[in-house]
Amino acid sequence: DGGITQSPKYLFRKEGQNVTLSCEQNLNHDAMYWYRQDPGQGLRLIYYSQIVNDFQKGDIAEGYSVSREKKESFPLTVTSAQKNPTAFYLCASTPGTGANQPQHFGDGTRLSIL
Amino acid sequence: GQNIDQPTEMTATEGAIVQINCTYQTSGFNGLFWYQQHAGEAPTFLSYNVLDGLEEKGRFSSFLSRSKGYSYLLLKELQMKDSASYLCAVHGGATNKLIFGTGTLLAVQP
């Protein structure tokens, strides 16, 4: 079955450390997205990519970086510059960028600070 | 600015009907989505409205009024498994991105 796989499910980061969250999809979707979800807040867009080798900043990109070297993969790095990284991170994809295309989400990665 | 409002929490009884409201103010509009999210899990797509009116899909229906910036999700014949957060999201035309509300946590009681 096609879908989006995020790993790991739980991740712990030490102070000053960079960590990378994996997101892989086998849906043949062009567009991929990273969201952050905090209690009491809606999903907030970190970065998105509409096509391979291209990506744009979302609303809260500071302290994060991404790459899109392959269509299937859109890893997110949480850098030491992100001072409040504890959150639930969700990766999503859509076939293209049409407004009527629902986003397919992965199961998320919960990141905590040690 | 961009703003989406939903009630934070609602409680309903098994077998009953519940309506979850969503109001929005966005710079553009290309459609409104409803997602269901169980605790610690991925959001799953429920419905999409771009034209005014009611869209029915089994026990779930969604309504849109673009002139009022208003939508609701109607859940009928509630089941315990419907206990979840319900997320309203607007596709803002100018930004071509989804803007999410904070979600409504629905608790279904026996």
Chain B residues in contact with A100 (beta carbon < 8 A): 30-31, 48, 50
Residue B93 is predicted with a pLDDT of: 62
Beta-strand ranges (E) seen in chain B are 3-5, 9-13, 18-25, 32-37, 44-49, 53-57, 60-65, 70-75, 84-92, 97-100, 104-109
CB contact under 8 A, A102 and B48: yes
Residue A83 is predicted with a pLDDT of: 87
- What does the block give as tokens for A63? 């302290």
Residue A98 is predicted with a pLDDT of: 83
CB contact under 8 A, B42 and A105: yes
C-alpha dihedral, A90 to A91 to A92 to A93, nearest 10°:
180
Residue B62 is predicted with a pLDDT of: 98
Asked if residue A1 has pLDDT above 80, the reply is: no
Tell me the shortest Cα–Cα distance from A43 to chain B, in angstroms.
6
CB contact under 8 A, B42 and A110: no
Separation of alpha carbons A1 and A23, rounded Å:
16
B108 touches chain A (CB under 8 A): no
Asked if residue A55 has pLDDT above 80, the reply is: yes
Residues listed for chain B: 110
Confidence of residue A35 (pLDDT cuts 50, 70, 90): very high
Q: What is the mean pLDDT of each run of 10 residues along chain B (110 residues)?
A: 91 98 92 95 95 95 97 98 97 77 96
Residue B95 is predicted with a pLDDT of: 58
Residues of B (48-67) whose Cβ lies below 8 Å from A: 48, 50
Contact residues for A99 (Cβ-Cβ < 8 A; gap 6+): B30, B31, B50, B91, B93, B96
pLDDT digits (tens, 9 = 90+) for A71-114: 999 999 999 989 899 999 999 999 988 888 899 999 999 999 88
CB-based contact B104:B7 (threshold 8 Å)? yes
Residue of B nearest to A48 (CA): B97
Separation of alpha carbons A52 and B52, rounded Å:
36
